[in-house]
A and B are shown apart, each in its own frame.
Chain A
Amino acid sequence: MTTDHPVLAEIKQSFAFLEKAVASFDQRFVLRVLRGLPALRKKLTPELLAQIAVMTYPAGDERRSGFVALAGVNPNTDEMEVDGASGATEATTQPLPEIDMYVSLLFQAWLLHENRIDDLRKLSEHVVARLRTYNRRSLDYLASKIWFYLCRGEELSGNLEAVRPILLASLRTASLRHDPETEASLITLLLRNYLLCAHVTQASNLVSKVNFPENAANALAARYMYYLSKIRAIELDYTAAHAHITGAIRKAPQTPLAAGFLQAAQKLNIVIELLMGDIPERSVFKSGREQSLKAYFEVVKAVRVGDLNQFADTIKKYASVFKADGTYSLVLRLRQNVIKTGIRIMSLAYSRISLKDICIRLRLESEESAEYIVAKAIRDGVIEATIDSERGFMQSKEVLDVYSTNEPQQTFHDRIAFCIGLHNDSVKAMRYPMNSNRIDLKNADEARERERELVKEIEEGELDDDDDEDFDL
């Protein structure tokens, strides 16, 4: 038999890992197989896939013929014979469900890569139907990936509504079976689905009804937090949105593959920070992201200066960018922040300024509007001032020394809370290999043994010491 194609060898190794995972109940082997998937996907060819199908399923199995048909290449028995004695690579027994699903996953990934969306949808339907007949915990990680491809297929063909019932049903099954991976994956997929259709209420309801599994993979948790942040931002709960989006950015994988996600998260973060009245740091716009964040940079500039005209121009100029990013409605809300910044600048610069001047400088319609707007700014805590209605001016209060207030204490508390949260998250994120406690136990036994010997020696030594002391004296 000639040596296998390198990709086939890799896949065979994956099969071995999957078998090992099933035998030892250790999910890490599955994870290892899945990690290789993105790289493997690029190397797949129809010929290889057909061979994989032949290699996996016994002759006469309809899955075998189905997959071979999908690959579009006839099961080239000639090559099989060239490869070696026939039957050497051909399966004779039924494959494990894990391997069956893994092969399906390879096909899904390949079809998506080839942009054969209709075939992908048909295949996904079959695969999911098969998947739901199994109830094996070793399938969890594979299942979560399979759902991803199913949803992607439906999304690309614009079938968002139709796929929802099956997702919800599976979510129920997954949570009943304590299958956190699939649960987490399905929750994020559903949220994405709802947000794409702009069903924010449903998305918000879903979030309030489900518990996102704590031990889900980081990539999924990051995605979940991103969607959550988006929902909260739409609901005007900016503090929560900001907490979630920083979490998402921190949890996102730091590989080039996640660059797109990071960029989207970064954009949302900028807008949320602006809405909270903060100005994002300049460093956010550096480090090779200038181009993608240019529109947001311009908005930040306008908000910082408090110039309404500049703000309106920027929005008009980059409207299509914001619409494509799905942040347009959030950016529009920034108008009030622009006004507030303008008022704050004026309150800092003048100790007393007439409402008429404010009106002119902010380019407002009337003095009356200016009075209301300044009053609102005072109430929102943007400025410390009072209005003299009769004489029509705004009087700024003396600037308080911040160190005489609780402000430093509060900031200090925020930082401590952040550090504690980070520590707790890191502890939770640690993984412990299974059965390692047995090794520890063994070690503990050994240690105890050693200690006993030590005690014995010391006891014996003490006698010697006594002698020594005697000697010293």
Chain B
Amino acid sequence: MEGQLAHIGAGLAGLGTGLAALGVGNVAANYLAGALRNPSAAASQTATLFIGIAFAEALGIFSFLVALLLMFAV
């Protein structure tokens, strides 16, 4: 029973990774919109884009980690 609950928790934590995907998509979409408005400034901001994606993804990875811990370590 406890194990089953852990698996349910892992599934719920897995939702977090999907939500992080929304965040990453948001970053990329806004970058693209800005890049299309001002293409000359786009190249200089790719590093910022990746930093933004990395930070948005970090929280999704935390939920992924939680899911893994629930699946395998608890």
* Chains A and B bind each other: no
